[in-house]
Amino acid sequence: MKAKVKIELYSGKIRQLEGAWTKALEMAAEAIYSDVIASQIVPFDVGTLEGSGYVKVDGQTAHIVFDTPYARRLYFHPEYNFRQDKNPNARGRWMDDYQVGYPKEGIALEAQKIYFKKNAGGLVK
């Protein structure tokens, strides 16, 4: 039995999907960053650390960055006694819940799927 197959690739649609995927990645990272801030888990004194946060997208990877000279020290030392009068859930390692194997790991993937469908212009059902 023989089968003849003709495949036509629409480069414009492929580029549209790639753009939608990148935009969805950025939107998902922004949603996670918003959840981090809303959860009040970033240590807070006058708000410099929390205010330094931003989302950076490099191709197929998104990073949530907290850019102060002391961010790394506070993040990797959960044993510090963080004040909790302004952010009641403040702690070290505040991004751990969003990583693989932790309670909120599925948020990123689900958010990206939703935003991808939204940004794909009807190409994804």
CB atoms within 10 A of CB 43: 21
Is residue 5, in this structure, part of any structural domain at all?
no
Is residue 1, in this structure, part of any structural domain at all?
no
Is residue 40, in this structure, part of any structural domain at all?
yes
pTM for the structure as a whole: 0.84
Predicted confidence (pLDDT) per residue in 25-43, tens digit = 999 999 999 999 999 999 9
Is residue 4, in this structure, part of any structural domain at all?
no
Residue by residue, what is the 3-state secondary structure of 76-112?
CCCCCCCCCCCCCCCCCCCCHHHCCCCCCCHHHHHHH
What is the pLDDT, as a whole number, of residue 27? 95
Tell me the CB-side half-sphere exposure of residue 36, using CA atoms within 13 A. Answer: 30
Is residue 77, in this structure, part of any structural domain at all?
yes
**Number of domains comprising the chain:** 1
Predicted confidence (pLDDT) per residue in 83-125, tens digit = 999 999 999 999 998 887 788 878 888 898 999 999 998 888 8
Is residue 3, in this structure, part of any structural domain at all?
no
Range of the domain at 98: 12-120
